[in-house]
């Protein structure tokens, strides 16, 4: 037992010490010959019954008592005997002046990693409450200790909140019995109390030290030797640690990613790595399904529509399921000033945000709103390091066992975004070792874009995993799906271009570049595959093959324009900034990569915006070093 000074009723340092048992103390905390403070709870002909704690009580026989007593009176006693049936007898201690010291129960704690070995036995565990869910029966407290998170079921009565004073974030001590529930372990609660003072502080320090250690990313060698990637590795480790820590704290994670091939190559490996880590940490087998969600985004930035929808769902989950508010992970998206309004919306609720992206960033606009930010432009690199390439390594830092399943994914990401990175040759060779030649990878890239278009806002988890053949062992279905989707994609692209190409406008710019323009709103099929960005990109690629560099292609509608460029030194984010000032009332916004991007404007200013845009293209320098068949942002 542990003794602490709890007060002093004496007059000098020579007073006797009487010990007061805390309410959770048991008979094991008693010592013979030691005086304890007791409270009389009953009087009978043969003596008085006394309570020393919630579970320690006994009889003081009338033969050793002097005077009269009433229920509620305090009495100093010491243990006299314990019968075979556990009944205890006490005798009074004659003390006049004494100091009271409290006695706390010495708990032998059982970690969540040892619950299986203690099935059916009463155990004690300490941890932080990370979720409180009220069911139609018991209240389920999800408690995180140094080793994991376990559901603890406490029953008051059907549908009634047990221990209503306990909230998410409290550090608690649980006494209960581990039992199997649906192939997992759940603790049936006998008692639950909130730790306070030094006990709470010691428990938090212990938990923090354990989380800090367990959240450390795994040391893994990159799939290829690539100096450009090494610059970004420390930032990726920070994100990996943040994500692992978030899982250990029981907080949900929402992954928002661009709905294209590179975005899915980024998000799916991270999603699977996190699901596996959640499965290791949580005893609840449903935890991966509830704590990680992948959400595609059509726009190349975080739209207010998506942000308000995400926030509403998060607040509803907190209300209905007792969850903490989530961490937002933005992939292949999230680095630009266009993301700021959405981020500021989430900031009202202190929702942490991490970004891994390769679009041209606006660090001055977003940095203060982010908890972590990885972008090759921040290290003098560019979009040729795709987000999918980065996130394959991020996923392996979270779960290194994913390595073999992901060896082909960086090549798919690179081909999807038409990366001309020096590392592409190595990534293609790595994929070839796994049986993916370049034709098969191209088919997979086309299939992913096609699936992303029709999935729209649906994550399509199993379908996308089958296409990428990650966490999926049916190779025949994988090949059949890829072939079918890729063939359908090419057929529909051919149909679209057959209708659109006759309406293509061409002019030779003064700087020697070919400029191709098309009104995709009026001269391409709407609401079908390919979307305007993809249509513009496919036209651009065909004109590259036909004319060679330098080529600029613009696909425009009533209030938008999609730009592609090869061999021309464009800076689309800078052009957008200039147009914002040069076309008053134009409502110009947009961005993207240096040589591929999109611009929005008000319908009535379309002609003025596009004319000003063409002038800037005509003034741009020709630079064949930039010929990159740059990525498409639909």
Buried b (16+ CB within 10 A) or exposed e, 119-155: eeeebbbbbbbbbbeeeeebbbbbbbbbbbbbbbbbe
User: Sorting pLDDT into bands at 50, 70 and 90, what band is 632?
Assistant: very low
Report the pLDDT value the prediction gives residue 591, as an integer from 0 to 100: 76
Question: 161 and 94 in one domain?
Answer: no
Question: 117 and 78 in one domain?
Answer: no
CATH number at residue 551: 3.10.310.40
Report the pLDDT value the prediction gives residue 172, as an integer from 0 to 100: 96
User: Sorting pLDDT into bands at 50, 70 and 90, what band is 1?
Assistant: low
Report the pLDDT value the prediction gives residue 629, as an integer from 0 to 100: 44
Q: Is 559 inside any structural domain?
A: yes
According to the per-residue pLDDT averaged within each range, which of 11-20, 394-403, 423-432 is highest?
Answer: 423-432
CATH number at residue 231: 3.90.1640.30
Report the pLDDT value the prediction gives residue 22, as an integer from 0 to 100: 85
Question: 270 and 387 in one domain?
Answer: yes
Residue 623 has pLDDT above 80, yes or no: no
Question: 360 and 287 in one domain?
Answer: yes
Domain end point (choices 79, 104, 129): 104
Domain end point (choices 84, 104, 124): 104
Question: 421 and 274 in one domain?
Answer: yes
Nearest to 257 by CA among 294, 210, 217: 294
CATH number at residue 130: 2.40.50.140
Report the range of poorest mean pLDDT among 14-18, 375-379, 535-539. 14-18
Q: Is 442 inside any structural domain?
A: no
- Measuring CA to CA, how many Å separate 477 from each of 437, 467, 484, 588, 612? 18, 9, 10, 45, 50
Q: What is the DSSP letter of 529?
A: S
**Percent of the chain's residues with pLDDT above 90:** 79
Residue 4 has pLDDT above 70, yes or no: no
Question: 241 and 141 in one domain?
Answer: no
Report the pLDDT value the prediction gives residue 624, as an integer from 0 to 100: 55
Residue 53 has pLDDT above 80, yes or no: yes
296 with 457: CB under 8 angstroms?
yes
Average pLDDT over residues 147-162: 94
Residue 24 has pLDDT above 80, yes or no: no
Report the pLDDT value the prediction gives residue 257, as an integer from 0 to 100: 96
Report the range of poorest mean pLDDT among 38-47, 100-109, 266-275, 363-372. 100-109
Dmax (CA) for the chain in angstroms is 117
Place of tokens 């082909």: 408
Question: 199 and 79 in one domain?
Answer: no
Report the pLDDT value the prediction gives residue 633, as an integer from 0 to 100: 52
Report the pLDDT value the prediction gives residue 630, as an integer from 0 to 100: 46
Q: Is 415 inside any structural domain?
A: yes
Question: 260 and 380 in one domain?
Answer: yes
Instruction: Show the domain range for 116.
Output: 112-214
Report the pLDDT value the prediction gives residue 107, as an integer from 0 to 100: 75
C-alpha–C-alpha distance, residues 594 and 376, integer Å: 13
Question: 76 and 17 in one domain?
Answer: yes
Task: Please state whether beta strands 353-356 and 372-374 pair in parallel, antiparallel, or not at all (unpaired).
Answer: parallel
Q: Is 592 inside any structural domain?
A: yes
Residue 234 has pLDDT above 80, yes or no: yes
Residues 389-402: tens digit of each pLDDT: 999 999 999 998 88
Average pLDDT over residues 293-299: 92
Average pLDDT over residues 355-361: 94
592 with 359: CB under 8 angstroms?
yes
Number of domains making up the chain? 4
Question: 408 and 273 in one domain?
Answer: yes
The token pair that represents 156 in the structure block: 């008051």
Q: Is 274 inside any structural domain?
A: yes
Average pLDDT over residues 212-228: 93
Q: Is 631 inside any structural domain?
A: no
Q: Compute the residue count for the chain.
A: 634
Question: 326 and 280 in one domain?
Answer: yes
Report the pLDDT value the prediction gives residue 578, as an integer from 0 to 100: 92
The token pair that represents 359 in the structure block: 């679009």
Report the pLDDT value the prediction gives residue 408, as an integer from 0 to 100: 96
Q: Is 210 inside any structural domain?
A: yes
Domain end point (choices 185, 214, 243): 214
Average pLDDT over residues 160-174: 95
Q: Is 499 inside any structural domain?
A: no
Average pLDDT over residues 187-211: 93
Average pLDDT of every residue of the chain: 91
Examine residue 530 and say whether the peptide bond preceding it is cis (omega within 30 degrees of 0): yes
Question: 208 and 65 in one domain?
Answer: no
User: Sorting pLDDT into bands at 50, 70 and 90, what band is 3?
Assistant: low
pTM of the model: 0.83
Phi, psi (rounded to 5 degrees) for 453: -65, -45
Report the pLDDT value the prediction gives residue 543, as an integer from 0 to 100: 94
């Amino acid at each position: 037992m542990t003794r602490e000074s709890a007060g002093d009723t004496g007059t000098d340092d020579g007073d006797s010490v009487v010990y007061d048992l805390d309410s959770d103390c048991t008979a094991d905390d008693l010592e013979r010959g030691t005086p304890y403070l007791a409270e009389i709870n009953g009087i009978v002909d043969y003596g008085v019954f006394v309570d020393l704690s919630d579970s320690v009580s006994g009889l003081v026989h009338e033969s050793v008592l002097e005077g009269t007593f009433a229920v509620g009176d305090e009495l100093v006693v010491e243990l006299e005997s314990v019968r075979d049936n556990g009944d205890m007898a006490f005798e009074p201690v004659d003390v006049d002046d004494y100091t009271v010291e409290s006695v706390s129960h010495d708990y032998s704690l059982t970690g969540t990693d040892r619950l299986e070995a203690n099935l059916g036995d009463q155990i004690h565990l300490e941890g932080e409450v990370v979720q409180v869910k009220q069911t139609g029966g018991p209240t389920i407290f999800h408690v995180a200790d140094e080793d994991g998170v376990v559901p603890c079921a406490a029953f008051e009565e059907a549908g009634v909140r047990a221990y209503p004073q306990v909230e998410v974030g409290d550090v608690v001590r649980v006494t209960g019995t581990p039992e199997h529930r649906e192939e997992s372990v759940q603790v049936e609660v006998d008692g639950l109390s909130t730790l306070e003072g030094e006990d709470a502080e010691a428990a938090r320090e212990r938990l923090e030290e354990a989380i800090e250690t367990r959240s450390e990313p795994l040391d893994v060698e990159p799939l290829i030797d690539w100096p450009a990637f090494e610059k970004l590795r420390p930032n990726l480790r920070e994100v990996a640690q943040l994500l692992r820590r978030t899982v250990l704290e029981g907080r949900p994670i929402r992954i928002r990613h661009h709905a294209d091939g590179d975005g899915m190559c980024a998000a799916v490996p991270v999603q699977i790595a996190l699901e596996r880590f959640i499965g290791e940490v949580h005893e609840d087998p449903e935890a991966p399904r509830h704590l990680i969600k992948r959400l595609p985004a059509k726009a190349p930035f975080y739209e207010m529509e998506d942000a308000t929808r995400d926030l509403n769902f998060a607040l509803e989950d907190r209300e209905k399921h007792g969850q903490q508010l989530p961490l937002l992970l933005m992939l292949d998206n999230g680095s630009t000033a266009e993301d700021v309004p959405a981020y500021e919306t989430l900031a009202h609720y202190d929702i942490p945000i991490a970004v891994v992206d390769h679009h041209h960033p606006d660090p001055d606009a977003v940095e203060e709103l982010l908890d972590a930010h990885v972008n090759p432009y921040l290290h003098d690199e560019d979009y040729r390091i795709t987000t999918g390439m980065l996130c394959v390594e991020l996923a392996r830092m979270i779960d290194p066992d994913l390595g073999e399943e992901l060896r082909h994914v960086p090549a798919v990401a690179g081909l999807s975004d038409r990366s001309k990175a020096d590392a592409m040759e190595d990534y293609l060779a790595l994929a070839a070792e796994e049986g993916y030649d370049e034709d098969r990878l191209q088919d997979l890239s086309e299939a992913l874009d096609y699936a992303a278009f029709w999935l729209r806002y649906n994550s399509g988890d199993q379908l996308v995993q089958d296409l990428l053949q990650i966490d999926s062992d049916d190779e025949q279905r994988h090949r059949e799906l890829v072939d079918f989707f890729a063939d359908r994609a090419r057929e529909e692209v051919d149909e679209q271009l057959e209708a659109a190409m006759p309406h293509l406008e061409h002019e030779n710019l003064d700087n020697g570049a070919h400029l191709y323009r098309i009104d995709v709103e009026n001269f391409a099929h709407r609401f079908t595959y390919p979307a305007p960005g993809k249509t513009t990109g496919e036209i651009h690629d065909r004109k590259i093959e036909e004319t060679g560099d330098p080529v600029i292609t613009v696909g425009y509608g009533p209030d938008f324009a999609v730009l592609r460029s090869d061999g021309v030194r464009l800076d689309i984010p800078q052009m957008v900034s200039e147009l914002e000032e040069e076309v008053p009332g134009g409502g110009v916004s947009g961005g993207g990569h240096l040589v591929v991007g999109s611009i929005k404007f008000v319908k009535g200013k379309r002609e003025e915006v596009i004319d000003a845009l063409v002038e800037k293209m005509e003034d741009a320098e020709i630079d064949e070093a930039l010929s990159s068949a740059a990525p498409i942002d639909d």
